[in-house]
Every structure is written in structure tokens, then in C-alpha cells.
Amino acid sequence: MQAKPGIIVNSEKCRGCRRCEMACSWKSDGLTNPRMAGIRIWKTEAEGKDTPVFNQICLDQFCGKEHPDKKGSGIPLCVTTCLFGALTVEEVSADE
């Protein structure tokens, strides 16, 4: 089993601010469209929970969008813009 970097979600820390959606949908011309983001915040009103959910493309490979101050770090922009630590990058086995 070979390990690779993967995005880990800690939904207990998510506050539903949707900064990750905005960062993911950001384009170099300054426009954003959260509907085009690879991450969505699922809200469960009855339980009062917010859960970040990624599409399969995001889980399979790094999109290449990085924070301008952290170019070359390999950390996706959605992770660096999360203020609450709900998203982190860790080594995961290829089987997970």
C-alpha cells in the first residue's frame, strides 16, 4: 500500500461558513460560482450539523488550486481557507 496526500474532513469543526466552496470555485479572473465547486456543505437542520462533502474528482487527485502565499505546498485552497480546521491534508493509504 502506497500512501498519498488526501483531504481529511472533521465535520465536528465545520461551522457552515462555505469559505471552502468559495475558494474552490474561485477563478483567476476573480469570479466565483459555488455551484461549480468540488466541495459542498451539507446542512442537516434537524441535527444542526454542517458537513463538508467532496466530489470524487477532489478525492482522487489534487486540483492544483493553492493559496498565493503557499504555492508549491500541495495543499488545496479549500483547506487553507478553512478557519476552523474542518479540512486537513494527511497521508492516507491508496486503499482508503
**What was the pLDDT predicted at 69?**
86
Q: Which residues are CB-neighbours of 30 under 8 A, at least 6 positions away?
A: none
- Segment 53-95, tens digit of pLDDT: 998 888 888 888 888 888 888 899 999 999 999 999 987 776 6
Specify the pTM. Answer: 0.81
Domain 3-93 class, CATH top level = alpha beta
Find the range with the poorest average confidence among 2-6, 35-39, 54-58, 84-88: 2-6
Least Cα distance to 76 among 61, 90, 65 occurs for 65
Locus of grid cell 477563478 = 27
Distance (Å, rounded) from C-alpha 52 to C-alpha 73? 22
Identify the CA nearest to 78 among candidates 68, 70, 67, 69: 67
Domain boundaries, the chain: 3-93
Q: How far apart are CA 19 and CA 27, in angstroms?
A: 14
Q: pLDDT band at 96, cuts 50/70/90?
A: low
